[in-house]
Amino acid sequence: MKTIVVVMGVSGSGKTTVAGLLAERLGCAFQDGDDLHPPENVAKMKSGTPLADDDRLPWLQAIGRRIDAWREKGEAGVVTCSALKRAYRDIIVGDRRDVALVYLKGPQALIHGRLVARTSHFMPVGLLDSQFATLQEPAQDERPIVVDIGPEPARIASEIVRRLAERRSG
């Protein structure tokens, strides 16, 4: 069975950019988890209102279905999801041993600067504080690959590829 990678982190951590590069390097499908949000979730976030767990559940289930579709076909894939809480990761990763969790970790000040500079995303800068307040960093038993977001996205993607290969050979 092929590896499926969930790239997680707060908004502005580089999930879409890094995951796109990663999928390209792995020669597999890419799914931006944001594209699976129901329209009402996008509207809520655009208005500056953080999502509640009830809002997130259909979105997380849609991501889980996408992952399972790849698994059923024996395909590899890379999907992005903020996956801020352990409970969310339990839905999208859970006991799927062929799903690798990559956590893009970085300081709030750096991420804030990135959010201020970007113009083409529905997530307002004002929700960053709520994302960090909600964030439960992955525990060791989740077997995360934790990557610093400081380097250029291409270097981050290379690091993830290297660590995935180590994991497969180890």
pLDDT in tens, 85-135: 999 999 999 999 899 999 999 998 888 787 776 555 555 566 677 888 899
Residues of the chain where predicted confidence (pLDDT) is lower than 50: none
In the chain, what percentage of residues exceed pLDDT 70?
92
Torsion of CA 59, 61, 62, 68, to 10 degrees: 150
Domain count, the chain: 1
The pLDDT value given to residue 118? 58
- CA-to-CA distance for 47 and 49, rounded, in angstroms? 6
Non-local CB neighbours of 138 within 8 Å, separated by 6+ positions: 8, 86, 89, 101, 103, 144, 146
The pLDDT value given to residue 124? 58
- CA-to-CA distance for 142 and 115, rounded, in angstroms? 28
| Residue among 147, 168, 167, 169 at smallest CA distance from 158 | 147
- Residue 60 tokens read as 């997380």
The pLDDT value given to residue 71? 96
- CA-to-CA distance for 56 and 110, rounded, in angstroms? 26
Non-local CB neighbours of 128 within 8 Å, separated by 6+ positions: 10, 11, 12, 108, 111, 112, 115
CATH number (domain holding residue 146): 3.40.50.300
The pLDDT value given to residue 142? 96
- CA-to-CA distance for 147 and 59, rounded, in angstroms? 25
| Residue among 150, 138, 80, 78 at smallest CA distance from 114 | 150
Range of the domain at 110: 4-169
